[in-house]
């Protein structure tokens, strides 16, 4: 797995943990905040989950685009749907 692919998996795992059902205004658990920091997104107990979800989805989109093969035109076979 490439570094981009590993990061993509990590971002997906953190997104799953942040998007889980939670009590209204419940702070993020310390281990989740630590995972977000390791991904390069600073946060604290007061950072809204919605903000983190938006930032993580933006990161996931950019990583997904970076790992997709490019299409070389009609002479080449187009990339398959993932």
Q: Domains of the chain: which residue ranges?
A: 3-67
Stated length of the chain: 82
pLDDT for the residue numbered 67:
73
- Which positions of the chain have pLDDT values less than 70? 68-82
Cβ-contact 67, 6 below 8 angstroms = no
Confidence at residue 38, expressed as pLDDT on a 0 to 100 scale: 94
Give me Rg for the CA atoms of the chain. Answer: 16
What's the confidence (pLDDT) of residue 45?
A: 84
């Amino acid at each position: 797995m490439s570094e981009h692919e590993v990061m993509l998996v990590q971002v997906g795992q953190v997104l799953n943990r942040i998007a889980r059902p939670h009590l209204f205004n419940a702070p993020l658990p310390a281990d989740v905040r630590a995972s977000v920091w390791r991904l390069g997104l600073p946060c604290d107990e007061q950072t809204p989950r919605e903000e983190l979800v938006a930032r993580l989805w933006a990161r996931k989109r950019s990583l997904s685009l970076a790992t997709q093969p490019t299409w070389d035109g009609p002479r080449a076979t187009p990339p398959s749907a993932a």
